[in-house]
Structure 1
Amino acid sequence: MHLVVIAWLYVALMMAIAEATNTTGTVLGAIVTFVLYGLLPVALVVYLMSTPARRRALKAREAAEREAAVRAHAQAARGHSEAPDAGGEATAGPVAPVREKT
């Protein structure tokens, strides 16, 4: 596909050069020729031809997000977490606190 794009732009460039160097042609006409016969059609074709690839990438990203959500939900259901003391209970100190007599 890249070869077709390069060839099309080459032909449009040659048309533009012919327009600019012609005795009745102008540089503005050459620019319009290159844009209307070269850039716009090529941009449209490349955009339309890459639609399936964009769609596949979107579905792959959604599947990866869905898989990550399922993993996170399964891990939360088992009660495991990343932090070792995320159980919510305070840790006990090595020495019991001493009460003062009042």
Structure 2
Amino acid sequence: MYLVAIAWAYVALMMAAAEALSPQGTLFGAFVTLMLYGVLPLGLLLYILGTPGRRRRRRAADASAQADAGGHAATGPAEGLAPEREEA
């Protein structure tokens, strides 16, 4: 996955360099080329392709949090019930 992203970034960078060094090209055009052909598509692609990994890490974190809790219910006063009175 990363090899394709690196290759795409290289091609987009070369396109931007060609735009900047062309006699009719401008630095603004090179910047727009780099953003629209490089940064935005790569960001979207890496975000979408990284979704399964993020989901897997979130499930693993939830599972370890439940294992650390010992599987017992939370303790403390139940909601809506009055606390017990101590008798003297």
Same-fold call, TM cutoff 0.5? yes
Give the number of equivalent residue pairs: 73
Rounded to whole Å, the distance in 1 between the matches of 2:52 and 2:17 is 35
Structure 1 segments (4+ residues) deviating >6 Å: none
Residue number in structure 1 paired with 2:72: 73
TM-score with structure 1 setting the length: 0.67
**Any stretches of 5+ residues in structure 1 without a counterpart?**
75-102
- Counterpart of 1:41 in structure 2 is 41
Q: Which runs of 5+ in 2 are unaligned?
A: 74-88
In 1, the alpha carbon distance for the partners of 2:45 and 2:65 equals 31
Cα offset, 1:73, TM superposition: 3.0
Name 2:60's counterpart in structure 1. Answer: 60
- The equivalent of 1:28 in structure 2 is 28
Distance 2:68 2:27 in 1: 56
Residue 15 of structure 2 is aligned to residue 15 of structure 1: yes
Q: TM-score, normalised by structure 2?
A: 0.77
Percent of aligned pairs sharing the same letter: 53
> Larger relative contact order (C-alpha < 8 A, sep ≥ 6)?
2
- Paired with 2:38 and 2:71, the residues of 1 have a C-alpha distance of 50
Q: CA deviation at 1:42?
A: 0.4
CA distance in 2 between counterparts of 1:39 and 1:25 reads: 20
